[in-house]
């Protein structure tokens, strides 16, 4: 009901477009205000949401199905509990303030995309026509006599696939995406991938093939990186697991963490007395009598155990010869995007194959997708990207992802294209990536190891460039990218006291 300033109750305000005539106003009551608006009159005006009240509820989480299910009681409802009221319905707005702890493959957050109402109904509420996308949550049409509610969380890859389908793109997990997802799960989640920020850890993974072993001393020296430009001493503010504040991050602690997560396996090297060739066996396979892997000779290994050092090898996904399908730079990029924005309502998935299904795009792949609803005017924000170790970003990479971004209507989506590398961008790469932007929109986001390694993405960069060190949105990151890479706005170096600007110190 609408009320004038003088207190007169005026009835229901019925807002509608001119082409949608309301034939029977009486269905809305005796006193109806007909509010007709067009594009000129609307001009950004928002119709106020009317609601009865709000409250919080403690939900229980069940793991019985493909995705977790939450159940909670509805208390403090502003309705009569008469039995005869079961025919009366209302919209219950559900706002999940927190995510599903430890599960990054399912979500309770429904992006504000009304085209997905049926998907939400079938996958979250079980009734296809009783769910409604809302700016801050999910609306469920339910009876006034309902006392409790159960909702099923949605599969993140399926949800993101539905978002892309809305604009005519078929998006499905790629082989690289499946590897990346498994790697993140093996590390205990996205934050469990923090050791990859350490240059020595990445070097240790890259330097040895899956069939090569290395000693503990070699592993520790590589992680320390004493004679490199990124030694372990530069990562002392990094916490990969709980330790006393101010205590040192040691190579032993890093190696132990990687062993716990199955990145490396411990084993022993043995020499066959017959063919004299060395072979490696994991700790689980070692026993007193061994068979040579090369000649089949069986021998007693006890004599060789004296003063023998442990030998380590890459394990699991890290034992693959495909460089984990480039998953390491992807995990570092996702860490920065998800942490910097504190995306409690953000969701992500690793690499997806993209095919045209009505949209004008070439068939391509994005290394990740990040989605959140924290855009301006309730727009959905999407980030797609290309991540490399040291390979160049090509003009074809830029062209394909730019076409994907262009496929999303600007009035409903803000789409950003992220390019990340574990080294510096070349001049031709920067010039090519600049084409993602236009005069009205900055959409390109660029990250190097300088931005990927720190806990806060721009804490190193702000020392050299004239930028704001804090960014809270993809738009902020695009603006900072423009200042760093396209305008090259470096900070002026202040000369030491007593030295003229034109003089050399010393």
Domain ranges of the chain: 2-42, 60-166, 192-319, 326-486
Distance CA 370, CA 420 (A): 14
Cα(126)–Cα(382) distance, integer angstroms? 27
What pLDDT digit, counting tens, does each position of 189-236 carry? 999 999 999 999 999 998 888 888 899 999 999 999 988 889 999 999
Q: With contact defined as beta carbons under 8 Å apart, do 127 and 120 qualify? A: no
d(CA 168, CA 115): 13
Catalogue the long-range contacts made by 448-453 (C-beta closer than 8 Å, 24 or more residues apart).
Answer: 448/420, 448/421, 448/422, 448/423, 448/424, 449/199, 449/421, 449/422, 449/423, 451/336, 452/197, 452/329, 452/332, 452/333, 452/335, 452/336, 452/420, 452/422, 453/197, 453/198, 453/199, 453/230, 453/235, 453/332
- pLDDT of 44 over the 60 cut: no
Kindly tell me if the per-residue pLDDT of 360 is higher than 90: yes
- pLDDT: which is higher, 156 or 136: 156
Dihedrals phi, psi of 58, to nearest 5 degrees: -90, 120
What's the whole-number average pLDDT of the chain? 85
Contacts of 191 (CB under 8 A, 6+ apart): 335, 339
The CB density around residue 234, as the number of other CB atoms within 10 Å, is: 16
Of all helices (H) and strands (E), which one includes residue 297?
A: none
Q: Distance between CA atoms of 195 and 219, rounded to whole angstroms?
A: 14
| Greatest mean pLDDT range, 34-48, 126-140, 307-321, 356-370 | 356-370
Stretch 268-278: mean pLDDT, rounded? 89
Residues in contact with 497: Cβ distance below 8 Å, sequence separation at least 6, in sequence order: none
Among the residues of 271-319, which ranges form H helices? none
Q: CA angle at residue 94 from 93 to 100, to 5 degrees?
A: 165
Whether the pLDDT of residue 485 is over 80: the answer is yes
> For residue 5, what pLDDT is reported?
45
Residues in the chain: 506
* pLDDT tens digits, one per residue of 402-414: 999 999 999 899 9
Give the per-residue pLDDT at 7: 47
CA dihedral (113, 118, 119, 124) in degrees, to 10, reads: 100
pTM value is 0.83
How confident is the model over 121-143, as a mean pLDDT? 90
- The separation between the first and the last C-alpha atoms of the chain, rounded to the nearest angstrom, is 78
pLDDT tier, 158 (very low <50, low <70, confident <90, very high otherwise): very high
**Residues 307-322: tens digit of each pLDDT:** 678 889 988 788 666 6
Q: Is the pLDDT of residue 70 over 80?
A: yes
Joined together, the tokens standing for residue 293 give 């892997």
- Give the list of residues 6+ apart from residue 476 with CB closer than 8 angstroms, or none: 468, 470
Query: pLDDT at residue 504 above 70?
Result: no
Q: Calculate the dihedral angle through the C-alpha atoms of 24, 27, 31, 34, rounding to the nearest 10 degrees.
A: -50
Q: What is the mean pLDDT of residues 22-38?
A: 72
Q: What is the pLDDT of residues 435-461, one digit of tens each?
A: 999 888 899 999 999 999 999 899 999
Give the number of other CB atoms < 10 A from CB of residue 194: 20
Residue 294, pLDDT above cutoff 50 = yes
How many Å apart are CA 178 and CA 445, to the nearest integer?
25
Q: Which distant-in-sequence residues (6+ apart) come within 8 Å of 106 by Cβ?
A: 67, 68, 100, 153, 154, 155, 156
What's the average model confidence in pLDDT over 46-63?
77
Collapsed DSSP state (helix, strand, coil) of residue 499: coil
More confident of the two residues 37 and 483: 483
326-486 maps to which CATH number? 3.40.1350
**Is there a contact between 295 and 274 (Cβ–Cβ < 8 Å)?**
yes
Q: Which two tokens stand for residue 31?
A: 């006193």
Check whether 55 has a pLDDT greater than 50: yes
User: For position 35, what pLDDT does the model report?
Assistant: 76
**Residue range 160-167: mean pLDDT, rounded:** 97
d(CA 258, CA 256): 5
Q: pLDDT band at residue 2, thresholds of 50, 70 and 90?
A: very low
Of 282 and 323, more confident: 282
Q: What share of the chain is helix, strand, coil (3-state, %, to 5)?
A: 30, 25, 45
Confidence of residue 269 (pLDDT cuts 50, 70, 90): confident
pLDDT value of position 438: 85
pLDDT in tens, 369-409: 999 876 556 789 999 999 999 899 999 999 999 999 999 99
4 has a pLDDT exceeding 60: no
Return d(Cα 65, Cα 62) in angstroms, integer. Answer: 8
Instruction: Please enumerate in sequence order all residues whose Cβ is within 8 A of that of 439, keeping only pairs 6 or more positions apart, or say none.
Output: none
- Give the pLDDT confidence of 179-200 residue by residue, as tens digits: 999 999 999 999 999 999 999 9
Residue 81 confidence (pLDDT): 61
* pLDDT tier at 85, thresholds 50, 70, 90: low
For 17-59, strand residue ranges (E) read 32-36
- CA separation (Å) from 446 to 353, 356, 457, 478, 484? 22, 26, 11, 8, 9
């Amino acid at each position: 009901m609408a009320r004038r300033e003088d207190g007169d109750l005026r009835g229901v305000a019925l807002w509608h477009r001119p082409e949608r005539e309301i034939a029977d106003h009486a269905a809305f009551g005796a006193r109806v205000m007909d509010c007709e608006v067009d594009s000129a009159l609307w001009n950004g005006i928002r119709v106020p949401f009317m609601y009865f009240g709000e409250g919080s509820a403690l939900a229980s989480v069940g793991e019985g199905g493909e995705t977790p299910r939450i159940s909670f009681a509805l208390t403090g409802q502003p309705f009569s509990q008469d039995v005869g009221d079961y025919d009366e319905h209302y919209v219950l707005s559900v706002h999940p303030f927190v995510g599903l702890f430890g599960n990054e493959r399912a979500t309770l957050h429904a992006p504000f995309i009304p085209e997905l109402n049926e998907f939400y109904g079938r996958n979250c509420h079980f009734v296809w026509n009783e769910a409604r996308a809302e700016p801050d949550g999910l609306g469920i049409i339910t009876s006034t006599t309902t006392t409790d509610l159960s909702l099923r969380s949605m599969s993140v890859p399926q949800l993101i696939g539905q978002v892309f389908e809305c604009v005519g793109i078929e998006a499905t997990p790629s082989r690289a995406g499946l590897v990346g997802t498994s790697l993140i799960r093996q590390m205990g989640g996205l934050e469990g991938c923090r050791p990859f920020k350490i240059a020595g850890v990445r070097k240790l993974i890259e330097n040895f093939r899956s069939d090569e072993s290395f000693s503990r001393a070699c592993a520790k020296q590589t992680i320390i990186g004493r004679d490199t430009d990124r030694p372990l001493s530069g990562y002392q503010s990094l916490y990969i697991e709980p330790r006393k504040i101010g205590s040192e991050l040691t190579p032993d602690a890093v190696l132990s963490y990687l062993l716990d997560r199955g990145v490396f396996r411990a084993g022993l090297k043995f020499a066959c007395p017959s063919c004299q060739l060395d072979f490696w066996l994991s700790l689980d396979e070692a026993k007193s009598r061994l068979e040579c892997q090369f000649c089949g000779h069986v021998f007693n290994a006890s004599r060789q155990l004296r003063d023998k050092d442990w030998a380590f090898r890459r394990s699991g996904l890290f034992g693959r010869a495909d460089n984990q399908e480039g998953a390491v730079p992807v995990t570092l990029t996702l860490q920065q995007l998800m942490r910097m924005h504190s995306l409690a309502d953000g969701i992500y998935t690793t690499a997806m194959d993209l095919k045209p299904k009505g949209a004008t795009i070439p068939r391509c792949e994005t290394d990740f997708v990040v989605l959140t609803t924290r855009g301006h005017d309730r727009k959905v924000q999407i980030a797609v990207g290309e991540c490399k170790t040291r390979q160049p970003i090509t003009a074809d990479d830029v062209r394909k992802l730019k076409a994907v971004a262009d496929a999303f209507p600007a009035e409903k989506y803000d789409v950003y294209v992220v390019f990340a590398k574990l080294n510096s961008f070349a001049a031709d790469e920067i010039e090519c990536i600049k084409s993602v932007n236009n005069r009205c929109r900055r959409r390109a986001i660029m990250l190097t190891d300088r931005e990927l390694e720190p806990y806060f993405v721009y804490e190193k960069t702000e020392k050299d460039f004239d930028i704001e060190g804090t960014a809270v949105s993809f738009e902020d990151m695009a603006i900072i990218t423009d200042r760093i890479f396209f305008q090259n706005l470096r900070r002026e170096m202040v000369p030491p006291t007593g030295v003229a600007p034109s003089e050399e110190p010393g």
